[in-house]
Amino acid sequence: MDAFAEKMRNFVAPNPSPRNPRVSRESSHADLIEEGYQADGHKTWGYVIYRTTYESDADWADFMGRLRWWTTDAMDLFNGQDVLDRMTWTVFDDRERFDGADTAAIRRHFRAWAETAVQIEQQSDAVDAPPVSQGRSPRYRYCIQVDADALNSCVHEGPPPPDCRHEQACWVKVIDKNWIPRHENPIFAGKQPHPHAYDYEPINGVTEEHIGWLKSPLSAVMTEYYHLFRDPNGWMIVYRRPPKVVGYGWD
């Protein structure tokens, strides 16, 4: 056991991360997120969060504390505090505007916000710097919604960290900004749908398999799934129709 422990202490992963040599660059969310925002020429990263339930400010504060804990814990594993320092915690917390808002309303607001936010947040201060684009940044493609069900799952259905396991850490909604119903999507215009394309139980009136949002574990949403959703195919790879939660196979 002593020899094994010594071997593990000296272990260096193949293609090691410069932040933590025991982890490969391909496995380091800190390295991968940094590579992503640098490739886009961006200065900051992180999902925008929408609060759409206002029954308890104490529960909301508890939720935000847990989200920050899980995000920090994930980055600590990769020695990625410098990357975490570049994150912008943008939270839309306006009871008059967002109380009870559904995913469609949040999507409309987020689309409008993303159109101008990238220039405000990411534009270089250098003279004559070219305009910056959204690139492949998940910050401008997906957002998080915390409604009453999501908040309840986070603060009332499991112990707070660090006393809970990852699969007890609850879920939040992640909304795809670009989703539109199949019958409105020009890609499918004139095409006959699959015989069972609309056989699913309705969710917000949608009977398609893909409903424009998914449930993501709180423990991984700001890191693992942020990196994964940079890949244009990432969403489709992990998507599970609610009420299932991606990653853990919950129902």
The pLDDT value given to residue 163: 73
| Integer Cα distance of 142 and 231 in angstroms | 12
State the helix-helix crossing angle for 57-77 and 148-155, rounded to 10 degrees: 70
pTM of the model: 0.90
- Higher-confidence residue of 70 and 8: namely 70
| Integer Cα distance of 145 and 143 in angstroms | 7
Chain segment 26-45, per-residue pLDDT in tens: 889 999 999 999 999 999 99
Q: Which two tokens stand for residue 12?
A: 């260096």
Tell me the average pLDDT of the chain. Answer: 89
CB within 8 Å of 13: residues ≥ 6 apart: 21, 22, 23, 24, 27
Q: What are phi and psi of 157, to 5 degrees?
A: -115, 10
What is the average per-residue pLDDT within 15-35? Answer: 88
CB 215 within 8 A of CB 145: no
DSSP string over 157-176: SSPPTTSS-GGGS-EEEEEE
Percentage, residues of the chain above pLDDT 90: 69
CB 214 within 8 A of CB 173: yes
Q: How many CA atoms lie within 13 A of 87 on its CB side?
A: 22
What is the average per-residue pLDDT within 66-90? Answer: 95
The pLDDT value given to residue 5: 47
